[in-house]
A and B are shown apart, each in its own frame.
Chain A
Amino acid sequence: MSETASSFRENGGVRGWLGRQPIWVRWLLILAGTVAAFLLPYAEHVPLIGPQIVTEGVDWSSALFEISYYVLLALGLNVVVGYAGLLDLGYVGFFAVGAYGTALLTSPDSILYEDTGWKWLMAVPVALALTMVAGVLLGWPTLRLRGDYLAIVTLGFAEIIRIVATSTTTLRGDRGFASIPHPPGSWGGEPIFGVTDAIPYFWLGLVIIILVILGVRNLDRSRVGRSWLAIREDEEAAEVMGVRTFKYKLWAFAIGAFIGGLGGVLFAGEQSFINSQTFVLQFSILVLAGVVMGGSGNMAGAILGGVLISYIPNRLRGLSVGDTDLYEYRFALFGLAIIVIMVLRPQGLIPSRRRAMELKDREKEVAPQ
């Protein structure tokens, strides 16, 4: 028994097995996985397992929608942290810019409403362009800094966005923006994206996630992805070998910002209300925790991480051990999880193979203590 298990591991585990299957088996499995993901809102009807999965304290379809934008954020942050190796602690800033961009262009509470008053779909490209500009604006001065300084400056960026959102009259602080329009479309006279049912939003999120996965995958396999890899492993060596490190780091930042902005736009469209309380700093750290837990540098890992950080707290909501409500402890638990994972399994739950090798390599170079 143990022998087969170890030989299974030596042959690359699940991924190795998947790699040996003929192409049609792989496609079939991917298709089955996608269909299963789309059917998740109906999970409670599955006998035995279903009721265990479904969240109790929160509406299941809303919980699923939350998962979808967390996964988007995790995928975006994975580009910045996992691929390019830049620690961005203010990722929620881009999420906020996307959401606020949408709100400013569409909400009746906005000062721009008289001039614009756009529909959701019209606001999307503008809001996304805005987040990319924000990414470049933040990256332009800061990406020349050393890695650890970058972390602090990005943290500051998110904090400034929050302070601006709280303190300026244009962004309305606590009062926020209400009546942000939902995405368009109707089915048999009824609007598809309504107020009560979150399932269509989840599906929309899934579609966006799939597009993002395809896009990022192609990027990763291109010249850009190889440059990111080189920068992550050794920035100075990469520079010497002719990789234009600054340019590609800026690319990573802008693409990460774009994906974060997508999450924000989607979020604004579903919630239809945002205010300055929505974008707390713990949020960025939570997403980072997800990426690291899942396995940074690997999209499957990032997705798993995104699912975990949004699903576990919602599943915990309403559950209690003794007198303590576990939901209260969610951030503390994630903090602990980050430490434990970095200490015991720094490559994450589903590691990127190359990244695991990099870590192993460094272990060999330990100097005397």
Chain B
Amino acid sequence: MDFSGLINDFGPLTVTGLAQGAIIALFALGYTLVYGVLRLINFAHSEVFLLGTYACLIVWGWFGLDQNSAPPSVGGMLLYMAVGLLAAILVSGLAALTVEVIAYRPLRRRNAPPLAFLITAIGASLFISELVGVATHRNQKGVPPIILAKPVVTIGDTTITNLQILIIVLALVMMFALDRFINGSRLGRGIRAVAQNPDSAALMGVNKSRVIALVFLLGGLMAGIAAVMYDLKIGVTRYDAGFLLGIDAFTAAVLGGIGNLRGALLGGLLLGVLQNYAAGLFGSQWLHAASFVLLVVILLFRPTGLLGESLGRARA
């Protein structure tokens, strides 16, 4: 227990935690959306994210960038960010759709028990992460320095980098856009209807299969953005990167109230900060253990999370 370390580094730990939490929150959206509609923990979502972290690296590789290349100019940076995000979003979205069509849809058609869904989800997760593991020889892959982290704001002895600001702002913007989409658009109404009562929604003329596919797609898109942010922040990716962060993202979703979009944001930011405090207090190897302990405590005392499970409720 290192209290002085925690107190001395309180500012930096908070800022890093918020940036980490923003990534976790975007990632957590996929869990929350799918759970809100299908009552299913989409275990394979962590691999959707994983594919995103590799997709942008591969595209940047086509431009001749690797971890040792010089940082690009401002114009290049914008271009690379745009194509990287696009690639990650496309790949993650497609991966999420594929998983739904291949692994879940046949089971739904047969009204399989919930356990069966979880088991295929694990199968899909294992399959994708292991394929990536074999293809990359289980080595980590470095990320080219698209955006160099430069301190831009200093408050006391806490510096905030441009990258941290970008991550947090982008996460907030995406969250806002998604929230508007779900609560304001026609398709979003379909999603809410299916979440509330799938059978009634189907009888009212909502195309259930299409709504479910849309939900997976949206989760995949958000995971793609989170994946690019993760690459830029951490600087390396590995075949098991999705798994470890996936547990955090799931914890965040449960913390905020699974099925609740705003809850995912709150849960993600809170978890990111708490994890960093725990790392400051006990050492960084306990970071993931901290999120598990937190998860168990939440489930015991407030299983509906901080903001409640609300995607399916009449008034969200």
Residues on A with beta carbons closer than 8 Å to the beta carbon of B114 = 147-148
A87 to B307, CA, bound (A): 27
Q: Is the CB of B106 within 8 A of A343?
A: yes
Chain A residues closer than 8 Å to B134, beta-carbon distance: 328-329, 332
* Residue of B111, B119, B202 most packed against chain A (CB within 10 A): B119
B303 touches A367 (CB 8 A): no
Partner of A343, one of B107, B209, B254: B107
Q: Which residues of A from 28 to 76 have beta carbons under 8 Å from B?
A: none
- Decide if A359 touches B123 in the complex (CB within 8 Å): no
In the complex, are the beta carbons of B122 and A285 less than 8 A apart?
Answer: yes
Q: Please tell me which one of the listed residues B41, B123, B250 contacts residue A339 in the complex, with CB atoms under 8 A apart.
A: B123
A116 within 8 A of partner (CB): no
Closest B-chain residue to A152, C-beta based? B250
Taking CB atoms and an 8 Å cut-off, the chain B residues in 87-144 that contact chain A are: 102-103, 106-116, 118-120, 122-128, 130-131, 133-134
Binding site of B, secondary structure by majority: helix, strand, loop or mixed?
helix
Q: When chains A and B are docked, how far (Å) is the Cα of A343 from the Cα of B121? A: 11
Which among B133, B208, B209, B296 has the greatest number of chain A C-beta atoms within 10 A?
B296
Contact between A282 and B126, CB atoms less than 8 A apart: yes
Stretch touching chain B among A14-22, A155-163, A241-249, A259-267: A155-163
Using known A-B contacts A332-B134, A343-B107, determine if residue A292 contacts B119 with beta carbons closer than 8 Å.
yes
Enumerate chain A residues within 8 angstroms of B285, measured Cβ to Cβ.
Answer: 163, 166-167
Partner of A362, one of B112, B125, B296: B112
Tell me the B residues contacting A by CB distance below 8 Å: 39-41, 102-103, 106-116, 118-120, 122-128, 130-131, 133-134, 198-199, 202-203, 208-209, 243, 247, 250, 254, 283, 285-286, 288-289, 292-293, 295-296, 299-300, 303
| A–B Cβ pairs within 8 angstroms, 19 of them | A87-B118, A142-B299, A148-B40, A149-B299, A152-B250, A153-B292, A153-B295, A159-B288, A285-B126, A292-B119, A328-B134, A329-B130, A332-B133, A337-B123, A338-B120, A346-B112, A358-B113, A362-B110, A369-B209
Beyond A342-B116, A359-B112, 7 extra complex contacts between A and B, CB < 8 Å: A141-B296, A153-B295, A155-B247, A160-B289, A332-B127, A342-B123, A368-B203
Of all A-B residue pairs in the complex, the 8 with the closest CB atoms, nearest first, are: A338-B123, A335-B127, A335-B126, A156-B292, A332-B130, A331-B130, A339-B123, A342-B120
